[in-house]
Chains A and B, each alone.
Chain A
Amino acid sequence: MTRWIFTVLVLVALMLLAMVRLFKGPTSADRVVALDAINTLVVAAMIVLAVVFRQFIFVDVAIIYALLAFVGTLYIAKYLGGEL
């Protein structure tokens, strides 16, 4: 059990580290890259949390989160590319 909690804690620490790039920029494209990395880490952490809390429905939430984050990233990318 502790190993899963440890994994989640490391993943959260990595998210905070990626947030440095999210706030520092310097361009908005860099921020999207950092956001994308954080989304991936959140999905991984959600899957591990499903085991920690023994609530396997969390994995479904992770799938939907990944798909919605993908749509969000695509829209931000389209906006940055000047196509929206």
Chain B
Amino acid sequence: MILDALIWISLAVGLAFNALGVVGILRFPDVYTRLHADTKCTTFGSIFTSVAIVLYAGGQYFRDPEGQYETLALHTVLAVVVLAFTNATSAHAIARAAHKRGHKPAQAVCDRLEETVP
């Protein structure tokens, strides 16, 4: 019962943050702020939908130890680790490329990087 509630809560939190990330991509004014919404919210949301899967696999494992549920849980954890690491790095790559291309941060109060580029 408690496990079911936890799964529902994780799913709800995950979907809410994924939705916020996508809305942020649509709403924010420039590349950098959109990257904020993208990397933080969708990574966090995906972590929580995966936590729901791991909880479900853990519950099923005790009901049916022959059902390969430990495979599901371990692989999901590995997928989350891969996702978190690659998302952070690719966000950095996109931000750097955008700045090299000359996209100015919109509404910026300061831009220390701009001053160093000759």
Contacts and interface: CB of A to CB of B under 8 A. Distances in A.
A34 B25 contact: yes
Interface in B5-55: 7-8, 11, 14-15, 18-19, 21-23, 25-26, 31, 34-35, 38-39, 42-43, 45-46, 49-50, 52-53
B104 to A, nearest CB: 11
Interface in B71-118: 71-72, 75-76, 78-79, 82-83, 86-87, 89-91, 93-94, 96-98, 100-101, 103
B75 A66 contact: no
Contacts of A59: 72, 75-76, 79
Given A27-B31, A29-B31, A21 B90 contact: no
Contact of B90 (A27, A73, A79): A73
A77 B101 CA distance: 10
Given A11-B15, A56-B75, A73 B94 contact: yes
A36 B90 contact: yes
Q: Is the contact region of chain A dominated by helix, strand, or loop, or is it mixed?
A: helix
A66 B47 CA distance: 14
A63 B75 contact: yes
B75 to A, nearest CB: 4
A31 B69 CA distance: 37
Top-8 shortest CB links A-B: A81-B97, A70-B86, A77-B93, A59-B75, A44-B46, A81-B100, A29-B98, A77-B97
